[in-house]
Chain A
Amino acid sequence: MITLNDYLLVAGILFAIGLAGVVVRRNIIVIYMCLEMMLSAANLTLVAFSRFHLVDGAPDYAAQSLVFFTITVAAAEVAVGLAIIVALFRAKQSVDVESVTKLKG
Chain B
Amino acid sequence: MPSVLFYLFAAITLLFGVGVVVARNPVASALSLVCSFTGLAALFISLDAYFIGTLQILVYAGAVMVLFLFIIMLLDIKAAEGRQTNYATAVGGLLLAVLFTVQIAMVLGDFKEGNKTLADQTLNLGAAASKTSLNTIKDELAEGTLPDAKLMGFTLFDKYPFQLQVVGLLLLAGTVGVVVLSKRDRGGKEEVS
Bound pair (A, B)? yes
Contact partner of A82 (CB less than 8 A), chosen from B18, B68, B141, is B68
Shortest CB-to-CB span from B153 to chain A, Å, is 9
> Within 8 Å of chain A (Cβ to Cβ): is B135?
no
Let me know if A68 and B55 touch, CB within 8 A.
yes
Contacts of A47 in B (CB 8 A): 44, 47, 49, 52
Q: What's the Cα separation between A6 and B111 when bound, in Å?
A: 12
Let me know if B96 and A68 touch, CB within 8 A.
no
Q: What's the Cα separation between A61 and B132 when bound, in Å?
A: 13
Give 9 CB contacts A-B under 8 Å.
A6-B10, A9-B105, A13-B17, A14-B36, A51-B49, A57-B125, A58-B123, A58-B141, A90-B191
Given contacts A34-B21, A80-B177, contact A23 B96 (CB under 8 A): yes
- Chain A positions near chain B (C-beta within 8 angstroms): 1-10, 12-27, 29-30, 32-34, 36-37, 40, 43-44, 47-48, 50-52, 54, 56-59, 61-62, 64-65, 67-69, 71-80, 82-87, 89-90, 94-96
Given contacts A16-B96, A44-B44, contact A75 B59 (CB under 8 A): yes
Shortest CB-to-CB span from B21 to chain A, Å, is 4
> Within 8 Å of chain A (Cβ to Cβ): is B134?
no
Q: What's the Cα separation between A78 and B48 when bound, in Å?
A: 27
Let me know if A15 and B14 touch, CB within 8 A.
no
Contacts of A79 in B (CB 8 A): 67, 174-175, 178
Q: What's the Cα separation between A29 and B74 when bound, in Å?
A: 13
Contact partner of B115 (CB less than 8 A), chosen from A3, A22, A54, is A3
Shortest CB-to-CB span from B146 to chain A, Å, is 7
Contacts of B36 in A (CB 8 A): 14, 37
Given contacts A3-B115, A73-B167, A83-B178, contact A64 B93 (CB under 8 A): no
Interface residues of B in 92-138 (CB under 8 A from A): 92-94, 96-98, 100-101, 104-105, 108, 111, 113-119, 121, 123-128, 130-131
Shortest CB-to-CB span from A90 to chain B, Å, is 7
Q: What's the Cα separation between A8 and B130 when bound, in Å?
A: 31
| A-B complex: 7 closest residue pairs judged by Cβ atoms | A57-B124, A12-B104, A76-B174, A57-B127, A5-B114, A24-B93, A20-B97
Shortest CB-to-CB span from B117 to chain A, Å, is 4
Let me know if B6 and A6 touch, CB within 8 A.
yes
Given contacts A30-B29, A72-B171, contact A9 B47 (CB under 8 A): no
Contacts of B14 in A (CB 8 A): 10, 13-14, 17
Let me know if A71 and B63 touch, CB within 8 A.
no
Q: B131's closest neighbor in chain A, by CB?
A: A56
Contact partner of B108 (CB less than 8 A), chosen from A9, A40, A50, A74, is A9
Let me know if A17 and B21 touch, CB within 8 A.
yes
